[in-house]
């Protein structure tokens, strides 16, 4: 459990405040995370990393000379929002562009992808790269489905080394990909972890047993075995990764490997050294040459008792990257003097107060209707947050209810503020979406934020809210979510309820039905479709690794979507002109 907490909702912000105060000589806080204390030199690609909080020293602790130029920091175990990533990238970027790198989780892929598109739209060159080192989260022939765990560090190191030697954005991306192809990790857990303010751990492991293949967000292992001795565990970890050596390595013999033995939060350093002695012997016996091993806490999961082993199969260039000097708050190698132009106040980008776009009286009147809908949604989500969390805990990490609650609360506050300032209906909805994404984080936060912004963009601030515009906005939102989220019908996600809702809403509106009638019919279809997801096996996201547990239980994202559109149906009449 976490002992030092004020309010759980303030934990991340207060943690960042303390981290920056303790490392002011190396980092600066910007909106959404931290950046190096010195500006990125002209012509150098900035490498911006990120993910959920709760993994220190990943990700903020890895910002500094020789490592990341910036880190976006989300809520506990939740992806940073696209706005946070965008802000950190803007603060770190030079004329050479930005590489965004992160672990391969649905929420991170989505939010970093949205930030990438936004940066490109502003003329900032940008690429995204997701790390896929966890051998237990996907088969060897489908490495793109694997998660990113402690092996994040090897890819980050490689990318920054390439950037600091002056490589172009495309070459930095290619070198990061090369490092990822040669990185493999395998983890085990002896106990679960507890989120700040929570009373129970996300999962438990029976005494005398060990979970195999656990994730760094509290995901349970894919198997459970009797707890081995340190010697036996060292052999198990090493043998599993030797079996997974990259295809480009003809033989394990004489290969050079960077080695990381990572503690997940509760395993003491002395224990790690006992384990590493066994690992080192096994690797040496297999004919491998160990290059500058790392033993310690590199990617943690609060107080989870567990360890992971990473092998980084080196060539000449990768070895130079792996052994290069670095100086960050949590990672030191060699002597790196601070170089570059010191930052001043102009570099500390903060979220500026947005101007109020011009709006017609009709749109301002309908903005009040948008607010009523958001109020109803917030009340419903607040009422059902615990139920959604329990449903998510069956095969996920149990944070869906909390995330939706935080997102809906933030959306309501933003909508009220926008109405008070005289925004039109489209801007009210768009600002509610931005706030939802920013506070909720993770996959659901990104999806709802993107969806609401898409609908708001189509509605605009000039015309009254009419059925064709609403149907078009929902259709465009669905298309964007499919494109950026990567889900398909039958994957057991929110899309399984969203797509039938969209299809029926569009067909009913095209048939001339009033908005309230069309929406109500579509909402009922979404509810049926959401319930039908109980029969599906999840094919993407964290739940796919525990698909058997999910059978018989509906997808929480689909259920929450159906819940929201159903409660919204009761307030559609709030608009002044709902007919086509």
Q: What is d(CA 75, CA 107) in angstroms, rounded to the nearest whole number? A: 12
Q: Find how far residue 529's CA is from the centre of its chain.
A: 27
Q: Which residue has the tokens 């067909």?
A: 507
How far apart CA 2 and CA 200 sit, in angstroms, is 11
CB 425 within 8 A of CB 323: no
**Cα distance between residue 27 and residue 33, in whole Å:** 10
Q: How far is CA 357 from CA 117, 423, 424, 549, in A?
A: 23, 7, 8, 48
> Among positive and negative, which fits the CA dihedral 211, 213, 215, 221?
negative
Closest of 441, 547, 493 to residue 217, by C-alpha: 441
Evaluate whether 213 touches 241 at the Cβ level (below 8 Å): no
For residues 147 and 106, the answer to whether their CB atoms sit within 8 Å is no
The one catalytic residue in 217, 231, 332, 571 is: 217
* 217 a catalytic residue: yes
What are the backbone angles phi and psi of residue 68, rounded to the nearest 5°? -65, 150
CA distance 495 to 476: 13
Question: Cβ distance 533 to 492 under 8 Å?
Answer: yes
Q: Which two tokens stand for residue 164?
A: 């600091």
CA distances from 567 to 399, 562, 570, 571 (A): 22, 9, 6, 8
Q: Is the dihedral of CA 442, 447, 448, 454 positive or negative?
A: positive
- Within 10 A of 421 (CB to CB), how many other CB atoms are there? 15
Burial (Cβ within 10 Å: 0-12, 13-18, ≥19) of residue 202: buried
Taking Cα atoms as reference points, which of 119, 156, 425, 434 lies closest to residue 299? 156
What is the DSSP annotation of 485-509? H---TTSSSTHHHHHHHHHHHHHHH
Cα dihedral 32→36→37→41 (10° resolution): -120
The DSSP secondary structure of 176-205, one letter per residue, reads HHHHHHTEEEEEEESS----TT-SS-S---
Please name the residues in contact with 43: beta carbons below 8 A apart, sequence gap of 6 or more.
94, 95, 96, 166
Calpha distance 296→323 (Å, rounded): 17
Q: How many whole angstroms separate alpha carbon 89 and alpha carbon 116?
A: 9
Annotated catalytic residues are: 217
């Amino acid at each position: 459990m976490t002992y030092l907490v004020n309010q759980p909702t303030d934990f991340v912000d207060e943690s960042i405040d303390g981290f920056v105060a303790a490392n002011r000589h190396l980092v600066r806080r910007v909106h959404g995370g931290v950046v190096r204390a010195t500006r990125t030199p002209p012509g150098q690609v900035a490498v911006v990393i990120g993910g959920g909080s709760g993994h220190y020293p990943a990700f903020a602790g890895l910002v500094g000379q020789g490592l990341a130029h910036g880190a976006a920091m989300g809520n506990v175990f939740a992806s940073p929002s696209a706005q946070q990533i965008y802000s950190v990238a803007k603060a770190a970027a030079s004329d050479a562009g930005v590489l965004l790198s992160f672990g391969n989780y649905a929420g991170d892929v989505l939010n970093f992808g949205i930030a990438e598109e936004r940066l490109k739209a502003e003329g900032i060159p940008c690429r995204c790269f997701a790390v896929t080192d966890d051998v237990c989260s996907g088969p060897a022939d489908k490495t793109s489905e694997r998660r990113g765990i402690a092996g994040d560090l090897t890819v980050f190191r490689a990318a920054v080394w390439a950037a600091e030697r002056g490589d172009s954005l495309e070459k930095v991306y290619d070198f990061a990909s090369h490092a990822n192809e040669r990185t493999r990790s395998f983890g085990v857990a002896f106990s679960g972890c507890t989120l700040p303010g929570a009373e129970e751990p996300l999962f438990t492991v029976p005494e005398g047993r060990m979970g195999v293949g656990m994730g760094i967000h509290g995901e349970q292992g894919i198997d459970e075995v009797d707890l081995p001795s340190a010697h036996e565990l060292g052999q198990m970890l090493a043998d599993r990764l030797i079996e997974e050596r990259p295809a480009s390595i003809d033989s394990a013999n004489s290969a050079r490997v960077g080695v990381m033995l990572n503690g997940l939060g509760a395993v003491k350093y002395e224990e790690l050294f006992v384990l590493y002695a066994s690992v080192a012997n096994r690797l040496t016996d297999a004919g491998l040459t160990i290059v500058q091993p790392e033993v310690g806490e590199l990617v943690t999961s609060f107080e989870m008792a567990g360890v992971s082993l990473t092998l980084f199969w080196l060539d000449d260039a990768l070895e130079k990257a792996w052994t290069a000097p670095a100086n960050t708050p949590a990672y030191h190698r060699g002597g790196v003097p601070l170089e570059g132009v010191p930052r001043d106040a102009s570099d500390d980008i903060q979220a500026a107060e947005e101007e109020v776009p011009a709006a017609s009286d009709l749109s301002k009147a309908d903005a009040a209707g948008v607010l009523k809908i958001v109020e109803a949604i917030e009340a419903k989500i607040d009422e059902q947050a615990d139920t959604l969390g329990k449903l998510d805990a069956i095969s996920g990490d149990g944070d869906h209810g909390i995330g939706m609650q935080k997102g809906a609360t933030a959306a309501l506050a933003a909508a009220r503020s926008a109405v008070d300032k005289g925004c039109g209906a489209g801007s009210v909805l768009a600002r509610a979406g931005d706030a939802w994404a920013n506070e909720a984080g993770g996959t659901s936060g990104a999806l709802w934020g993107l969806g609401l912004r898409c609908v708001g963009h189509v509605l605009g601030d000039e015309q009254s809210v009419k059925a064709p515009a609403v149907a078009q906005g929902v259709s465009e939102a669905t298309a964007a979510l499919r494109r950026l989220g990567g889900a398909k019908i039958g994957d057991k996600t929110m899309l399984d309820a969203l797509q039938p809702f969209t299809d029926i809403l569009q067909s009913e509106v095209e048939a001339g039905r009033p908005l309230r009638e069309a929406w109500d019919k579509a909402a009922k279809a979404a509810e049926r479709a959401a319930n039908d997801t109980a029969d599906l096996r999840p094919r993407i996201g964290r739940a796919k690794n525990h698909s058997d547990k999910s059978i018989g239980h509906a997808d929480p994202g689909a259920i929450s979507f159906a819940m929201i559109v159903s409660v919204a149906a009761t307030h559609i009449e709030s608009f002044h002109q709902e007919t086509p």
